[in-house]
């Protein structure tokens, strides 16, 4: 399979994901509506419409403004030819290899080694690497990192992840509605409701957001492997990327201005690895990524 197919599959996955999450949301809406509305169709519909409106607003905002927010939160500034000639040339070269327009090129004021890509499609993409990466990585390694980011851009990963994050957030929101409703009021109406149904609702409300979160993280980790692979196809130097990952491992500086909210964007996990962070990590373990790259 080649990198061109990968983006087509990703676009399909985006739609499939929307479909699956819609089913979960409808199920949640149905169960909650039944509990609160005693089967009243009107309340179920109000629930669904409300959820839908919130989803659309969230989707539009992060779809069109997400990249600018990510760049400004991380304090990125545009790269210039005088100081970052090699970096700019690498991005331009890899964009040629990927046959997409050159993304906007930014530098992150941070001594750790990291990078991210953002933007809703290749025409509106931005790539940013840290000052630390430009200084500490050699040419082949930096090119490997950029090739990985170009892989994200080419594969439409940012679109897929944006949609995933929104849907996961929506499920969390719905569950939150429900649990708050249980705590404050609502108790009077469901006197004659089947307690089994109430328990199902409760379990669903607690489990759904956790499961959704785990799905999101699994997708994110998979996209990292895919971007490593696409990057290797584009740059023809998987060992450059592997060496960059090794340097990151030794470096172990946390990236400032990165938080749980923006962690999924980065090239390597900006937060330190540990049992908890691995289980709920947006990135696969470095060792496994290096192993796969070296096997190519």
Partner 1 sequence: MDPILLIVLIVIAAIVLYFIAAYNRFVILRNRIANAWAQIDVQLKRRYDLIPNLIETVKGYAKHEKKVFLEVTAARTALMSATTLQDKAKANNQLSSTLKSLFAVAEDYPKLQANQNFMMLQEELSGTESKIAYARQAYNDSVLMYNNGTELFPGSIVAGMFKFTQKEFFKTEEVEKEAVKVKFE
Cα–Cα distance measured from residue 103 to residue 121, given in angstroms and rounded to the nearest whole number = 10
Binding to partner 1 by residue 225, rule CB under 8 A? yes
Nearer to partner 1, 86 or 291 (CB): 86
Residues 81-100 that bind partner 1 (CB under 8 A): 85-86, 88-90, 92-94, 96-99
Window contacting partner 1 (CB under 8 A); options: 40-48, 168-176, 229-237, 264-272: 229-237
For residue 93, the minimal CB distance to partner 1 (Å) is 4
What the block records as the tokens of 77 is 């500034």
Cα–Cα distance measured from residue 25 to residue 279, given in angstroms and rounded to the nearest whole number = 25
What the block records as the tokens of 164 is 């995933």
Binding to partner 1 by residue 260, rule CB under 8 A? no
Torsion of CA 33, 34, 38, 42, to 10 degrees: 40
Binding to partner 1 by residue 209, rule CB under 8 A? no
Whether the Cβ atoms of residue 94 and residue 143 lie closer than 8 Å to each other = yes
- Is residue 149 flagged as an active site residue? yes
For residue 94, the minimal CB distance to partner 1 (Å) is 7
Cα–Cα distance measured from residue 226 to residue 234, given in angstroms and rounded to the nearest whole number = 12
Among 51, 115, 208, 232, contact with partner 1 (rule: CB under 8 A): 232
Window contacting partner 1 (CB under 8 A); options: 114-122, 171-179, 204-212, 226-234: 226-234
Q: Is 270 helix (H, G, I), strand (E, B) or coil?
A: coil
Binding to partner 1 by residue 6, rule CB under 8 A? yes
Determine phi and psi for 128, rounding to 5 degrees.
Answer: -135, 135
Binding to partner 1 by residue 2, rule CB under 8 A? yes
Count the neighbouring beta carbons within 10 Å of the beta carbon of residue 148. Answer: 29
What the block records as the tokens of 57 is 């607003």
Of 6, 141, 143, 149, the catalytic one is 149
# chain residues binding partner 1, by CB under 8 A:
27
Among 107, 161, 208, 226, contact with partner 1 (rule: CB under 8 A): 226
Nearest of 36, 251, 16 to residue 145 by alpha carbon: 251
Nearer to partner 1, 86 or 180 (CB): 86
For residue 81, the minimal CB distance to partner 1 (Å) is 8
Nearer to partner 1, 135 or 222 (CB): 222
For residue 89, the minimal CB distance to partner 1 (Å) is 3
Binding to partner 1 by residue 105, rule CB under 8 A? no
Nearer to partner 1, 83 or 254 (CB): 83
Q: Is 125 helix (H, G, I), strand (E, B) or coil?
A: coil
For residue 24, the minimal CB distance to partner 1 (Å) is 25
Burial of 196 (0-12, 13-18, 19+ CB in 10 A): exposed
Whether the Cβ atoms of residue 51 and residue 24 lie closer than 8 Å to each other = no
Binding to partner 1 by residue 233, rule CB under 8 A? yes
Q: Is 26 helix (H, G, I), strand (E, B) or coil?
A: helix
Count the neighbouring beta carbons within 10 Å of the beta carbon of residue 195. Answer: 8
Binding to partner 1 by residue 137, rule CB under 8 A? no
* Tokens 């985006």 -> residue: 14
- Residues lying near partner 1 in the complex (CB under 8 A) are found at 1-2, 4, 6, 85-86, 88-90, 92-94, 96-99, 222, 225-226, 229-230, 232-233, 236-238, 296
């Amino acid at each position: 399979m080649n990198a061109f197919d990968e983006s087509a599959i990703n676009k399909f996955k985006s739609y499939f994901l929307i479909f699956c999450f819609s089913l979960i949301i409808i199920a949640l809406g149905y169960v909650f509506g039944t509990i609160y509305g005693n089967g009243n169709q009107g309340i179920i519909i109000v629930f669904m419409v409300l959820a839908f409106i919130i989803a659309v607003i969230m989707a539009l905002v992060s779809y069109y403004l997400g990249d600018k927010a990510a760049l400004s939160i991380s304090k990125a500034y545009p790269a210039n030819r005088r100081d970052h000639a090699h970096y700019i040339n690498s991005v331009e070269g890899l964009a040629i290899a990927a046959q997409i327009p050159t993304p906007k090129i930014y530098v992150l004021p941070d001594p750790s080694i990291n990078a991210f890509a953002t933007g809703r499609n290749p025409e509106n993409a931005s790539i940013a690497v840290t000052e630390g990466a430009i200084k500490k990585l050699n040419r082949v390694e930096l090119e490997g990192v950029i090739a990985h980011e170009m892989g994200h851009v080419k594969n439409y990963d940012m679109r897929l992840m944006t949609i995933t994050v929104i849907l996961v957030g929506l499920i969390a929101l719905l569950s939150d509605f429900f649990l708050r409703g249980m705590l404050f009021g609502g108790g009077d109406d469901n006197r004659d409701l089947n307690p089994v149904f109430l328990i199902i609702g409760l379990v669903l409300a607690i489990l759904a957001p956790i499961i959704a979160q785990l799905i999101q993280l699994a997708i994110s980790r998979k996209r990292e492997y895919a971007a490593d692979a696409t990057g290797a196809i584009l740059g023809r130097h998987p060992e450059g990327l592997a060496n960059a990952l090794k340097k990151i491992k030794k470096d172990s500086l946390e990236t400032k201005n990165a938080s749980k909210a923006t962690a999924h964007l980065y090239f390597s996990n900006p937060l330190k690895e540990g049992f908890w962070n691995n289980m709920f990590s947006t990135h696969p373990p470095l060792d496994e990524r290096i192993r796969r790259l070296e096997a190519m």
